[in-house]
Amino acid sequence: MGLGNYIKETRGELKHVSWPTRSQALAFTIIVVVISVGLSLFLGLFDFLFSRGLQFLITRF
């Protein structure tokens, strides 16, 4: 299979893709950002609590 044939077939397949609308893409982007920020805050909180707990145990004993 040559490169030109591959590119032609790829372009043909991309015409069959159901692309999201602008509003759908914006909504999905906002959802991903909100979930990412929430998860990072959640994990950051547990990291902080575990590091403080470990620091307490090390200095106490």
**Sign for the pseudo-dihedral over CA of 56, 59, 60, 61:** positive
Q: Helix H segments across 1-61? A: 3-14, 22-60
**Taking 80 as the threshold, does the pLDDT of residue 60 lie above it?**
yes
Residue type at 21? Answer: T
Q: What is the pLDDT of residues 24-45, one digit of tens each?
A: 999 999 999 999 999 999 999 9
Residue type at 22? Answer: R
| DSSP class of 16 | T
φ/ψ (deg, to 5) at 12 = -65, -40
pTM: 0.69
The whole-angstrom separation of Cα 9 and Cα 35 is 36
